[in-house]
Chain A
Amino acid sequence: MIVPLEHIIILAAVLFGLGLVCTLVWRTNVIMLLIGIEIMLNAAMLVFVGGSARWGMPDGQVFALMIMAMTSAEVSLALALVVYLHRRRNSVDVDEFRELKD
């Protein structure tokens, strides 16, 4: 363990906060919103890996791997959706898509 777990968690928290801010700020662009989600997921992965290193258990790394796999699935679907929506509306502004209302 090279650094205390606190520091890893603080770094993860900072990354998570930045990802959250990115998600909330970039409402005009779905791509940036997805990037914010990626950042938050990375922060979560960091915590898993840090925990795994702290207790010497590989389970955390397994979960990080699973997050990664899930992320790639999610990103591929989300980007497909973006392409689809862009084709229909010619826009990537998240507020343009209000079909959820009905």
Chain B
Amino acid sequence: MKLYLELIILFPLSGAIVNLLLGGRLLPRRASEILACAAIWGSFVATVAAATAYSAPMTVEITSWLAAFDLKAPISLYLDPLSLSLCLMITFVCGLIHTYAVGYMKDDPSPVRFFALLNLFVAAMLTLVLAGNLPLLYLGWEGVGFCSYALIGFWYRDPQNATAGRKAFIVTRIGDIGLGIAIVWLFQLCGTVSIQQLNQMGANIPPGVITALGLLMLLGAMGKSAQVPLMVWLPDAMAGPTPVSAQIHAATMVTAGVYLLMRMFPLIGSSASLCAAIAVTGALTAFYGATCALAQRDLKRILAYSTISQIGYMMLGVGSGAISAATFHLLVHAFFKALLFLGAGCVITALHHEQDIFRMGGLRRSLPWTFWPFLGGALCLAGLPLTGGFFSKDGILAAVWLKGGALYGGLYFAGLLTAFITAVYTMRMVLIVFEGEEIPLNPPLSKGEVKSLPRVMEWTLLPLALLGIFGGLLNLPEFLGGGVLNSFLSHPGSQELQLSHSSELLLQGVAAVVALAGMATAWLRYGGLRRQLRLTEAELPARGLSAFLLEGWRVDALYDLLFVRTYIRLSGFLWQQLDEGCIDDSLDRIAAQLGRWGQRLGGWGEGRVSLSLLSMAAGAALIIVWLTWVTI
């Protein structure tokens, strides 16, 4: 068992190291691609082996790491249902994405760097998930942050991409500070950093402190999971290659924040106000993301905003205490969002890196192998009844409803509204991209000339589509026989409230109606002949509400005004006024003054006889005065 756990992390790590050290010159391109994929699939196999051998939660201490005085943070891995299911998902999805990336990066000049970073990312993410103590978790946390930064700016020759990478790094750093403080504080309070021990100590800590700790962790989660108000980096992160977007910014890394909260939930869940804060953050983010996605033109940005929105759902679930529902949504979302991104990657590759949805069309016929899986993923996202997305989203909404009260009631309706908007924007995307006449591209591509895609890219879509659509089977509602995942995740001692079958059925009915209504609305607006109308409308620049939504509620502009400009002005002030004006200038003046004195002093020794005489007389006068009045 210990071996399996070690292998899970060591496979991708060694893949990254070998690729970094030997790739490029020593290994042929094909070899490094195979190596990268093999590392992930090996990790997947190890995870499956661990899953089959799994019986009860266990901690494996591999080696000592940080140890100073009271602080003991060994490299210890902790395996429980939550981390096991996440590991399965991560290794499987990442494996598919790696395979897909082989096709996607076929023409890229530096595959070694790309695959090494992807492997390193997987290693860091698995470290994060399996970490048995907070410093190790933080190591993984920062590791994925670094890989995300490096991969967003992968095509760093374009300054825009590099800027997007820096933005992601800086914004998430704000959240990381919160997490770092929380870890240190917890150690100071409890004297340990082991997650297991901390989770059992919840009763000993005053509730106010727990709330504060939870808020700090929530801050960390906000940064990593792109929650309001730290969500601005995710849409820009789409500057990276599409497999990166799929792997990091949709399926795995952005869920790290949610995972952290789930992991620490036994500790922080006792604070009701904190739960409310998490839930409100989640609901707000979900609504924000959905509304923004409604107006986007860039295919990848639509998906990015929908990711923000869906992670908001997960946070809402965590805030409602429905850990298993949130986990379920996390897994299903990983499947269908990876699917959607990979499908989008196919579309974009086929259209020569065209990302504007209003310049696409008719791809249903030209790219059938992409269209059908993509449609499946979109239906999952929209929450069509009986797909995985429907069940998982409904599980969260049911949990919110179950909490009752004015706050959670309001949040439930916000969630429903968001579900409606989600259905609308999803179908809008599908209808505009795949339906209608193929509009002329620039440079024009006739229908038959759509660039043939590497086979491997489309093949990887299928298993994801199947998992997304039938993911509901993992965790069927109670009245359909109960969920595998639910019983797997629920550990003794956790009491998640259960709805009666009839009311659960009612809630699912409501959700289904909402989703269908949303899809119908989208059809009414974008379907059939009206699609062309929208296309002509899109030629004009966006105005009013749609412009507001297109720019993500203008949050970027607001932050620019509040922080960036202020910072620039402050730096400018410090630079020009304080540094150059005050410090440098005073030094310059002192130097100039000294120089002038030096000139004068030098003039003394210029050999002027009269000056020498005068100096001699002055010296003599001094000596005489000294002798007269001081010594005598």
Contact = CB atoms under 8 A, between A and B. Distances in A.
Nearest to A102: B607
B587 to A, nearest CB: 32
A100 B610 contact: no
A101 B610 contact: no
B613 A98 contact: no
A94 interface: yes
Interface residues of B, number: 10
Interface in B563-615: 605-610, 612-614
A84 to B, nearest CB: 15
A42 interface: no
A24 B606 contact: no
B617 interface: yes
A34 to B, nearest CB: 12
What size tier do the contact residues of chain A reach? 10 to 19
Nearest 9 CB-CB pairings of A with B: A101-B607, A27-B610, A98-B607, A100-B607, A94-B609, A95-B608, A94-B610, A95-B610, A101-B606
B609 A95 contact: yes
Interface in A43-102: 94-95, 97-102
For chain B, what secondary structure do more than half of its interface residues adopt (helix, strand, loop), or is it mixed?
Answer: helix
14 contacts: A20-B617, A24-B610, A24-B613, A24-B617, A27-B609, A27-B610, A27-B613, A33-B613, A95-B608, A95-B609, A98-B608, A99-B607, A101-B605, A101-B607
Contacts of B614: 24
Nearest to B609: A94
A17 to B, nearest CB: 10
Contacts of B605: 101
A31 to B, nearest CB: 14
Nearest to A21: B617
A6 B171 CA distance: 92
Interface of B: 605-610, 612-614, 617
A24 B617 CA distance: 8
Residue with the highest number of chain B CB atoms closer than 10 Å, among A95, A97, A99, A102: A95
Nearest to A99: B607
Contacts of A99: 607
Contacts of A101: 605-607
A23 B613 CA distance: 8
A27 B612 CA distance: 11
Given A20-B617, A24-B617, A97 B609 contact: yes
A100 B613 contact: no
Contacts of B608: 94-95, 98
Contacts of A24: 610, 613-614, 617
Contacts of A27: 609-610, 613
Given A95-B609, A95-B610, 4 more contacts: A94-B610, A95-B608, A100-B609, A100-B612
Interface in A1-57: 20, 23-24, 27, 33
Nearest to A94: B609
A94 B606 CA distance: 13
A97 B607 CA distance: 8
Contacts of A94: 608-610
